Structure 1
Amino acid sequence: MTETAAGLPPVEYAVAVERYLAAAGLAEGSRRIYRIALHTWAWALADRPAPTGAERRRARPPVLPLALLDHPDAAGRLRAALTHRGADTDPRTLNRELSTLRAAVAWWRAHGWIDGDPTTGLSPRPLPEPAATAGPLTPDELHALFALRAPLREQTLWHLLHESAAAIEAVLALDTDHLDLPHRRTRPGHAPVHWRAGTARLLPLLIAGRGTGPLFLTDRRAPAGTPAADRCPYTGRARLSYRRAAELFTTHAGVLGPGRTLRQLRTGR
């Protein structure tokens, strides 16, 4: 290892993680996600099972030397962790976290802090076949979905997607001042979206007290660096992302059976 402009090479893995994140120029929200991913791999390097669920976000990673990445067993430990986590982790999430580790390892190697690359030979998990070819939800499935005690935001989004048949991206890009509530449509000059009685009943409740800003919001305040167009000026929360909307739907729609997706809400009319 060599001394760099960033100072002496870090001895501990966790310190190397913080050096990498500080140099990556990430927004706070992204930095937090990257940190969780890199800390999770630390458990594998220590040959210990990683915490899962909410505990994974709060757990303090094991203290271990960065040089452990150059140990002959490092690649095997990472490979075993990849296989083990693949049994109960979404492959897209796992592949993203593997990519995060590879990027960090490349940066550490470029600074001379480690010599080898234990991620070489680790293959991304195969992704499931896209469910875009699946047909729309049946009337019985829709009835069961809309009868769920799901939050107002989710019920409004699901009704709007079903009644409008609009692209999910277009719906999530809507702002509250794009809506023409009396005529059940968006105002001229915006993506044309029309809805029916179910959505018309829910929308006023969802936007109560908000005259502008994103229509669908996250549960938390927007991280630093979020563009003003994607931040609610009243609550400080961010625009709901496609990824998060899909995750929430999958969680709630599990009562209908596996494999249900947001795109199946569209009637195609």
Structure 2
Amino acid sequence: MTELPPVEYAVAVDRYLSDAGLAPGSRRIYRIALDTWAWALADRPAPTGPGRRRARPPVLPLALLDHPDAAGRLRTAVELRTTATDPRTLNRELSTLRAAVVWWRARGWLVGDPTTDLRPRPPVGPAAAPLTPDELRALFALRAPLREQALWHLLHESGAAIETVLALDADDLDLPHRRTLHRPGRTPLHWQAGTARLLPLLVAGRTTGPLFLTDRRAPAGTPAADRCPLTGRARLSYRRAAELLATHSRPLTTPPDPAWTLRRLRRS
């Protein structure tokens, strides 16, 4: 009797791990790795730190791996994770995904292979230095949209993690005091004049919903916490924010220098 292909990515992961003959500890590590790629396919940043193991990955159809942009999403996720993950861990996770895709294709559950162009990451040298004062002045002088300028200024002036800044909501702000409100379990962020000038314009009367929004309306199924109730737009993703910085800063870089990254905006 032919085994019916699973609809959900998570079910396909379960079937792969059940058949892989792994020890319990290895099975747990493989599951964490495969769950991480689920966040990438959903165009959402994967949780980091201790919360990564407890976080529930997004519900996805397995067929999303056959979508034309699946390979691009995975490539972007690899580039973003390169700045925060050691090469050994990232390469192990890439290998885990490749092995699962091979297993799924062998059963006819997938047609293509979005991992074909994903290459192991070489050992990295010293972390890229923060942008210099001259580079920052050039970036802030660009005729970039208000959203991008507010994000860049806030990342630089607060020194906060990118994920923390993108998770902010409009009602987290204490604009008169140039800081975020005190919330249980959160360290308040503080900023300076550049951010203080831009944030009121960005909020423009919004009192709830994500602070940084996409240009388009949120797709169906977007969690309420990641959708603006006033405009219907979604929370800006790490992936998209990184792409926007790379695009706008390209005229300021000289090949073969790499594109500027969000992490280089933070103070040294």
TM bucket by the smaller chain?
0.5 to 0.7
Tell me the SS of whatever aligns to 2:68. Answer: helix
Give, as a single letter, the amino acid of the residue that structure 1 aligns with 2:214: T
Structure 2: how far apart are the matches of 1:224 and 1:105?
31
- Aligned partner of 1:157 in structure 2 is 151
Give, as a single letter, the amino acid of the residue that structure 2 aligns with 1:224: A
Q: Does 1:107 align with 2:104?
A: yes
Change (3 A) 1:34 1:199: farther
Unmatched tracts of structure 1, length 5 or more: 7-19, 41-55, 57-88
Q: Which of 67, 87, 92 is equivalent to 2:78?
A: 92
Tell me the SS of whatever aligns to 1:36. Answer: coil
Deviation at 1:219, TM superposition (A): 1.9
Change (3 A) 1:191 1:230: farther
- Aligned partner of 1:196 in structure 2 is 192
TM-score norm. by structure 2 comes to 0.61
Deviation at 1:103, TM superposition (A): 4.9
- Aligned partner of 1:144 in structure 2 is 138
Give the 5 Å matches for 1:21-60.
Answer: 22-24=7-9, 34-37=66-69
Change (3 A) 1:191 1:122: same
Asked whether the 8 Å contact 1:222–1:236 carries over to 2, the reply is yes
Q: Deviations over 1:186-224 (max 9, x none)?
A: 111243111111111110111113111111112222222
Change (3 A) 1:180 1:134: same
Based on CA coordinates, which of the two structures has the bigger radius of gyration?
1
Structure 1: how far apart are the matches of 2:238 and 2:126?
15
Asked whether the 8 Å contact 1:37–1:97 carries over to 2, the reply is no
Structure 1: how far apart are the matches of 2:224 and 2:126?
32
Q: Which of 120, 142, 145 is equivalent to 1:126?
A: 120
Asked whether the 8 Å contact 2:171–2:207 carries over to 1, the reply is yes
Structure 2: how far apart are the matches of 1:166 and 1:267?
9
TM-score norm. by structure 1 comes to 0.60
Change (3 A) 1:146 1:186: same
Asked whether the 8 Å contact 1:132–1:263 carries over to 2, the reply is no
Structure 2: how far apart are the matches of 1:176 and 1:155?
17
- Aligned partner of 2:26 in structure 1 is none
Structure 1: how far apart are the matches of 2:65 and 2:233?
18
- Aligned partner of 2:164 in structure 1 is 170
- Aligned partner of 2:247 in structure 1 is 251
Give, as a single letter, the amino acid of the residue that structure 2 aligns with 1:264: R
Asked whether the 8 Å contact 1:131–1:261 carries over to 2, the reply is no
**Runs of 4+ that moved beyond 4 A:** 2-6, 25-34, 95-105, 128-132
Deviates more, 1:179-188 or 1:132-141: 132-141
Asked whether the 8 Å contact 1:168–1:242 carries over to 2, the reply is yes
